[in-house]
Amino acid sequence: LESPPDFNPFKRFYVLKKSEVQDNDWIRLYLELAVATTNRSYEDHRHDLSKLKIIKVAIKTTPQDLEPHEILGAYDATLYIRYKDSCEGKVVDRIAIVRRYLREKLAILGSIHSSDTIIPKKEE
């Protein structure tokens, strides 16, 4: 079996500028929710969410032909949040995947996923 091609959302979708991430606190909230719901089975270990550091955020929207100023407000979006986490006594590089779907009547539907896989560093 051949392995599937690498999926890199940061090359395929709109990547937010650092200022866009800083100006939209809800992105940090989505990351904290993803980490908290992923690690809730560890009863003896409380995850220190303040140590999470967002590295890069990519957004895939439906429809995909939105203008850059419309992307952050899209009703249907998948966010790929790359972050560093020092929860295990070492710094690890992870990606949280958060799907947001908003109905126009203000109901929020969606799902939150977080990867536990460490992203390997590429040799320079």
Domain positions in the chain: 9-114
pTM over 0.85: no
What value does the mean pLDDT of the chain take?
79
> Residue 17 and residue 58: Cα distance in Å, rounded?
10
Q: What is the 3-state secondary structure of the chain?
A: CCCCCCCCHHHHCEECCHHHHHHCHHHHHHHHHHHHHHCCCCCCCCCCHHHCEEEEEEEEECCCCCCHHHHCCCCEEEEEEEEEECCCCCCEEEEEEEEEEECCCCCEEEEEEECCCCCCCCCC
Nearest to 71 by CA among 16, 25, 12: 16
Q: Which pLDDT tens digit goes with each residue over 67-86?
A: 888 888 888 999 999 999 87
40-51: per-residue pLDDT in tens?
655 545 677 888
Q: In angstroms, rounded to a whole number, what is the distance separating the alpha carbons of residues 116 and 31?
A: 13
